[in-house]
Amino acid sequence: MRFVSNAGSDRVLDLIRPWIQRGHQIDMVSPAFSLFAYSELLDELPQVSRARLVLPPQPTSAQGATDDTLGLLGSAADRPHRNKLQAPWLSRKLAAWLEQTAEVRHAQGAVPQGTLVLRDGEGRAQQAVMGSFAFSTDGLGVTPGNPLSLIQASENLAEAQMLSQWFDSQWAMLRDQPQAKAELIERLRGLGSHRDASSVYALMLHHLFANGDGLDEERIVKSATGIRNTVVWKKLYKFQRDGVVGAIDKLDRFGGCIIADSVGLGKTFEALAIIKYHELRNDRVLVLCPKRLRDNWTLYKANDRRNVLASDRFNYDVLNHTDLSRDGGHSGDIDLSHVNWGNYDLVVIDESHNFRNKKSPRQGNETRYDRLMRKIIREGVKTRVLMLSATPVNNRLADLRNQIAFVTEGDDTALFEHGIASIDSTTRRAQKAFNRWLELPNEDKTPSLLIEMLGFDYFALLDHLTIARSRRHIEKYYGIHETGRFPERLPPINIKADVDRAGAFRSIRDINLEIRRLNLAAYAPLRYVLPHKQQAYDAKYSTQIRGGESFFRQVDREESLIHLLRVNVLKRMESAVSSFALTVQRQLHDVEATLAQIEAHNDEIEELDIADVDIDDPAFETLLVGRKVKVLLSDVDLLRWKQDLIEDRNRLATL
């Protein structure tokens, strides 16, 4: 006997197929009997003259009799076969073959393993297989099976004859059971019978809403927490309460949720209700938001007359997105050097699309995305993640994947049990389908076609982890009795007018030439770093890309920024002369502030190395210049920089 790997070209199917010929015979002992295994031998099995099958005993209870104990419809791995909708046809074919060719007997007890004996036309055993397999697609090696299965095959006629004698003795011990064959054929005919459309529709509805209790508000939101007595809960509209219930359910089941309701539908209040629910369960909550939106969140935990939720006594922490890049200092009243990042049970990320890009880190550093994943999501207690964004997908579907990674802790197969084998593969396939849709002629680019091309898996992914409603959705399914009608956007009124009614504004050509002559030196400090210091700044600020294959230098990034700033000035002029003036004044202020720092610089201060300087330390504030990218004034060619700044000041003043 030899071992059979049941993979590649060494499968049970490949061993038995050559021996299933016209006039030959087959004997089988199997713990399962699948339609789809029969479909793999659909052309060969009808040729055999005799088949003897030993199958497990059928349940005696009325309830058990309806179960698919034989695995007729296969396992989870046979989903692609079931999706072909050929099961009724295969059932009829198999029933006809059994009726014409086979004898069936039930074993006295459970069948522990499978055996196949292939005989020639005279009944002599030619090939035999035994071991941990069944007459199923995984047992034949068509779909992946248990890697620990032990299967053996005969290598000569003597071994095959030995197994055939064992089968003959087992068959003889089982009395003739004509009802066994009749029951199996009856079950197959039941599977192959015609179903009217209304029955199929009812079955679809049953499976779609079988888990309807999962949306039961009382089951999800425990009344014992007292959440329904809070001010924030009472202020929610019906559609907002449904959103909160759905989000809490997703947080409990999947560990995360993205609320992507349209702008103006109250995502912040929904999040506050979810926060309060978790606080009532003694969970520790962190809110991460852009710095400009910080006051929106701190207001509801402050003793402030504008706080309409003061009696709910919120106690969550609020940090800025940028605080993830800092190791020290204070954010509000929180000392960042002592934050226990891994101790948060719930993290709320406002404007989560800011984390849509999994950026490459600067050399030796860690991005905000990486730090959020490492220090908050993966470390410490199990952390649930609630994300708020009206635009979770901006440019590409990978934006969504990178945000979902916070929910799954970066595990690409986290939703395998929910029918999504790979989150990354699902989003990549959907992106390719979307790109193909974009290339179609305009008359063919319909929303219905896009939905069809994106595929079921992508929408299943959205359904599991996102909640997204529009104003039209709210009006259609909730009505306007409670909320009132949403404001309608008026059509724009186009007015063509000169740039300057007074006629005092210079021509656009002259303005453009003046803008192109600007050095914008205040925004490119690395341009003026002394040559022997360049290497240190490259090491500190360069971005590693493509897994370290190359680097994107900050100097190059600054030059790109300069071009964008020039274009932005022109765009502001296109908007309004007043907007243009404000932008120019702002740039002039930045130039004067940089000049003032240069003038105040003391050349006698001991020279420092930028690699040893903490650019966020207030102690070095007078020695550094720049915003996000800072340079030591002692490392800069101050004379050349000052000349370019003065030139910019004069041109901006003229503008």
pLDDT band at 633 (very low <50, low <70, confident <90, very high): confident
For residues 632 and 627, what is the distance between their CA atoms, to the nearest angstrom? Answer: 12
Right CATH number for 215-410+465-478 from 3.40.50.800, 3.40.50.10810, 3.40.50.720, 3.40.30.10? Answer: 3.40.50.10810
Phi, psi of 624 (to 5 degrees): -115, 155
For residues 318 and 298, what is the distance between their CA atoms, to the nearest angstrom? Answer: 7
Q: In the prediction, which pLDDT does 418 show? A: 84
Right CATH number for 2-194 from 3.90.1300.10, 3.40.1160.10, 3.30.870.10, 3.40.50.300? Answer: 3.30.870.10
| Beta strand extents in 357-451 (DSSP E only) | 384-388
For residues 631 and 629, what is the distance between their CA atoms, to the nearest angstrom? Answer: 7
Parallel, antiparallel or unpaired: strands 285-289 and 317-320:
parallel
Q: In the prediction, which pLDDT does 606 show? A: 46
Q: In the prediction, which pLDDT does 548 show? A: 55
Q: What residue spans define the domains of the chain?
A: 2-194, 215-410+465-478, 508-654
Task: Write the CB contacts of 568 (distance below 8 Å, at least 6 apart in sequence).
Answer: 583
In this structure, the number of other CB atoms found within 10 A of the CB of residue 485 comes to 8
The dihedral over CA atoms of 377, 380, 381, 384, expressed in degrees to the nearest 10, equals: -10
Q: Which pair of structure tokens corresponds to residue 387?
A: 């994300």
Q: In the prediction, which pLDDT does 60 show? A: 57
Q: How many residues does the chain have?
A: 655
Q: In the prediction, which pLDDT does 50 show? A: 93
The string of pLDDT tens digits covering residues 214-238 is 556 777 888 888 999 999 999 999 9
Task: Write the CB contacts of 379 (distance below 8 Å, at least 6 apart in sequence).
Answer: 341, 342
Structural contact between residues 374 and 342, judged by C-beta atoms closer than 8 angstroms: no
The string of pLDDT tens digits covering residues 426-440 is 999 999 999 999 999
What angle in degrees, to the nearest 10, is found between the helix axes of 456-465 and 447-454? 90
Phi, psi of 511 (to 5 degrees): -60, -45
SS3 at position 339:
coil
Q: In the prediction, which pLDDT does 356 show? A: 76
Q: Three-class SS string for 114-144?
A: EEEEEECCCCCEEEEEEECCCECHHHHCCCC
Phi, psi of 625 (to 5 degrees): -135, 145
Q: Which pair of structure tokens corresponds to residue 162?
A: 């030995």
Q: In the prediction, which pLDDT does 467 show? A: 94
Mean pLDDT of the chain: 85
Strand ordering across the sheet containing 102-106: 2-3, 151-153, 125-131, 114-119, 25-29, 50-55, 102-106
Q: Which pair of structure tokens corresponds to residue 495?
A: 């007015």
Count of H-run helices and E-run strands, the chain: 24, 19
Q: Which pair of structure tokens corresponds to residue 200?
A: 């199929």
Domains 2-194 and 215-410+465-478 share a fold: no
